[in-house]
Amino acid sequence: MKKEMTYIDQVHSFGRKWNIFVMIMLIAYPMVTALIFRTGPDWHGFTMGLIATAPMYWAVAVVETITYVPMLGAGGSYLSFVTGNISNLKLPVALNALEQADVKASSEEGEVISTISIAVSSIVTTIIIIIGVLLIRPLTPVLNAPVLAPAFAQMVPALFGALGVVFIAKNVKIAVAPLILMLILFIAVPALNAGTVGIMVPEGVLFTLGVSRLMYKKGML
Amino acid sequence: MEFGINSPVLFVLAGIIVAVVLAQSVFFLVKAWKRAKQLGMDSAKLKRIARTAAIFTIAPAIAIVISVITLSKDLGLPLPWLRLSVVGNLSYETIAATNAENAMGLSFGQVTGLTATQYVTIASVMTISILVGIWLVPLIGKKLLTGVINLEKRDKKWADIFQNSMFIGMISAFVGFVFCDVADVFKGDFTGLIPVCVFVVSALVMAVCGLLLKKTGKRWIMDYALPISLILGMAAAIPITAWLS
């Protein structure tokens, strides 16, 4: 008799199908465009553009997948890696929802809460972007108004100030070493900035895990 | 058919893919909601969580719309709409588009009237360079999460510390980023303090919300604490920037 699939097994099964389908659709966009307009890529430009872009982002994507999947859960991962904006939107949304529901990320309750929050966030984001695209003419002068520019430029500090205070206050012992390391690195190394912060997330996670393991073994946690 | 970066057919193509992604989100939402009910989770609690997620998303989503506007100057609307609805983010898309344009002798931000060939080239580079996450999660996601579950079975306390350490590691990197330009103060440039001040304002608002929650016991404060802190932090950036620039 065939064994009945658990909820998590179903999420993985459907998630795989959805993600592969979306991937095919995405690849189809430039291909169908080429067919409709009876053209093809500029192969030299394509190769050079790809060499300049892909290796770094492929490496980052591998590390991001390993880092973010355990935090996002199954459903949250399949959705987040399709809809993007993980560190600045999907993960904070999921973390806040887990905190709000008072459930652990690794529990099944945590899995569904993470999925619900990320799905809602993805739907709202998609709808707001659609509204933005439809109303781009009247919205452009408003959204590009110089008075609002500083607010949107400082979204990440505002987000991590609020999120950081909650998680750091709850995990002070764990947080001290990675905070000191990251502050020293970001202040001392000019190359570390808004463009490279995403690359530093896996390093921060690995370092924190290492220090926490050491502290745990020594009975400090 | 004559090519244009805002050709209606490109809107249709992008729209179809965005609709598929929207359907995926709805599918997982319904599935998770049903499972939550089976697990005996309170409907009111689930609605509160969904509402908070929706409200919290508004400001970052508007920032994404601004990114669409920024990229649309070179690439038209359909491609940035698609790229920023699916997988992408502004920094990646800008770098990918810039690299593809440079490879064809163009300069990002100064492009007028792309040809169909140039457009297909840029769209291909932007797409292929970002796809890894989409196929890698189906490939290794289950193994990674099974590893976390096994860890929990072996040593529950360490599994909790492990999860918290991952969250703290990510947050630490972003806290470091907030302080990345503070050393400029020694050169007489105080703009590096702007993100630090915004960070502090937002953290203080969150802390005040926490205190109010403890004092009053009103649950709605917890539901709206993060969106309120985010919005007030961003709003504070306006006078802080004017002051320190």
CA atoms of B200 and B206, how far apart (whole Å):
10
Which range marks the domain in which residue A204 is found?
A: 171-221
- Give tens-digit pLDDT for B215-245: 998 888 888 899 999 999 999 999 999 999 8
Would A40 be classed as within a structural domain? Answer: no
Nearest to B191, CA basis, from B136, B128, B135, B245:
B245
Rounded CA gap, B7 and B3, in Å? 7
Which residue has better confidence, A67 or B18?
B18
Does A3 score more than 80 pLDDT?
Answer: no
Q: Which H or E run contains A10?
A: helix A7-36
B244 to chain A, minimum CA–CA distance in Å? Answer: 12
CA distances from B103 to A31, A41, A86, B69, B83 (A): 20, 12, 29, 23, 20
Q: Is some CB atom of chain B closer than 8 A to the CB atom of A13?
A: no
Distance CA B117, CA B103 (A): 13
Q: Is B51 exposed, middle or buried (0-12, 13-18, 19+ CB in 10 A)?
A: middle
The token duo for A15 is 């998630």
Measured CA to CA, the distance from residue A63 to residue B81 in angstroms comes to: 26
Domain presence at residue A158: no
Task: Report the C-alpha dihedral over residues A181, A182, A188, A191, rounded to 10 degrees.
Answer: 140
Q: Which residues of B touch A207 (CB under 8 A)?
A: 169
**Tens of pLDDT along B96-137?**
888 888 888 888 877 778 999 999 999 999 999 989 989 999
> Which of B22, B147, B199 lies at the smallest CB-CB distance from A123?
B22
Number of A–B residue contacts, CB under 8 Å: 547
Do A157 and B233 count as a contact with CB atoms less than 8 A apart? yes
Classify residue A84: in a domain, yes or no: no
- The predicted pLDDT at position A2 comes to 61
Q: Is residue A208 part of a domain?
A: yes
pLDDT at B1 over 90: no
Q: What is the ipTM of this complex?
A: 0.89
Please determine, for residue A11, whether its predicted confidence score (pLDDT) is greater than 60: yes
Q: Indicate whether A127 belongs to any domain.
A: no
**Contact between chains at B28 and A121 (C-beta distance less than 8 A):** no
Looking at B114-192, list the stretches that DSSP marks H as alpha helix, in order from N- to C-terminal side.
116-128, 132-154, 156-178
Q: What pLDDT, on a 0 to 100 scale, did the predictor assign at position A194?
A: 80
Provide the pLDDT for residue B219: 81
Q: Which of A85, A159, A167, A171 is nearest to A129 (CA)?
A: A85
Cβ of B171 within 8 Å of Cβ of A22? The answer is no
- With an 8 Å Cβ cutoff, are A33 and B96 in contact? no
Q: Does residue A1 surpass a pLDDT of 70?
A: no
Give percent of chain B above pLDDT 70: 100
Domain assignment present for residue A180? The answer is: yes
CB-based contact (8 Å) between A58 and chain B? yes
Q: What residues in B contact A102, CB-CB < 8 Å?
A: none
pLDDT computed for residue B151 by the predictor = 87
Mean pLDDT over all residues of chain B? 92
pLDDT at B207: 95
Q: Residue A217: pLDDT above 60?
A: yes
State how many domains chain A has.
Answer: 1
**Are B95 and A53 inside 8 Å of each other by CB?**
yes
Residue A58 structure tokens = 């492929």
Q: Could you tell me if residue A206 is inside a domain?
A: yes
Mean pLDDT, rounded, for B2-19: 95
Burial class from Cβ neighbours inside 10 Å (0-12, 13-18, 19+) for residue A5 reads exposed
User: Does A209 reside within a domain?
Assistant: yes
User: What mean pLDDT is reported for chain A?
Assistant: 92
Distances (CA, A) of B102 to A56, B98, B107: 17, 6, 6
Percent of the residues in chain A that have a pLDDT greater than 70, as a whole number: 99
pLDDT at B138 over 70: yes
Cβ-proximal residues to A220 (8 Å cutoff; 6+ apart), any chain: A173
Nearest-angstrom CA–CA distance, A168 and A179: 9
| Closest by CA position to A165, among listed A95, A109, A72 | A95
**Where do runs of H (alpha helix) occur along chain B?**
8-38, 43-75, 78-85, 90-103, 116-128, 132-154, 156-178, 193-216, 219-244
Percent of chain A predicted with pLDDT > 90: 71
Rounded Cα–Cα distance for residues B149 and B155 (Å): 10
Cross-chain residue pair B39–A108, CB shorter than 8 Å: yes
